[in-house]
Amino acid sequence: MQKVIFLPLCLILVFSSCKKQGCTDPNAINYNSSANQDNGNCTYSLMDIEGNSYGAKSIGHQIWMTENLKVKKYRNGDTIPQVQDSSQWNHLTTGAWCYYQNDSSKGIWYNWFAVNDPRGLAPSGYHVPTDAEWTTLSDYLGGEDVAGIKMKSTSGWPQNGNGTNTSGFSGLPHGYRTADGQFFVNGYMGYFWSSSEYDAEWAYYRQLEGTSSHVLRQEGMKGTGFSVRCVKD
């Protein structure tokens, strides 16, 4: 006759509560080998072809860079032309980058031709997000109406427009350059390219505003200069 063993209720409760949250990805900086339940807060580091280092973070089921791209070469080592002159920028149909009014402290903007160049703009293992991947991000953060405030950094935005940055995306208001070469709203809005075309002359991007909790899905002329974020392959 077999013996039936009954575990005390208190022991069963102990076993069921032994879940330890933490980062369970061994490739992450903050990997916790004793965690058995992922907390969705893994952090990473990556490097572009020039040796510039970047932070990245898990947001939902995606891994996003937490700072803007600043590389000046394609992934194969070819130089991306710097074009500061407005008249030259206005006629571009190939990839280029620029500083905001020659001020390197304001970050780098790329036209969409650089984003779409087959030589690759993003660091190895990453890519410029598609329009659908941007939508996945905003959906995970509650939808376009509220995702923006969760994507904006907690400082650097004017008119009390700082975000909560609960996503860790750390979006900053670096403005943009128009397709005809003019510079606009640096310090008030943030613009980020997608790799997806709208039509032959326009492509999708995302916009963060200083006075709004929204993230806006828009179309911009391919010759426009926007910031670039990357997402892991």
Domain ranges of the chain: 41-232
- For the chain of 233 residues, list the mean pLDDT of each consecutive stretch of 10: 45 54 92 88 96 97 97 98 95 95 84 98 98 98 97 92 96 94 86 97 96 95 98 98
- Quote the CA–CA distance of 47 and 52 in Å, as a whole number: 5
pLDDT given at position 17: 53
Rg (CA), the chain: 22
Is 97 in a helix, a strand, or coil?
strand
pTM of the model: 0.89
User: Dihedral (C-alpha) 29, 32, 36, 41: value to the nearest 10 degrees?
Assistant: -40
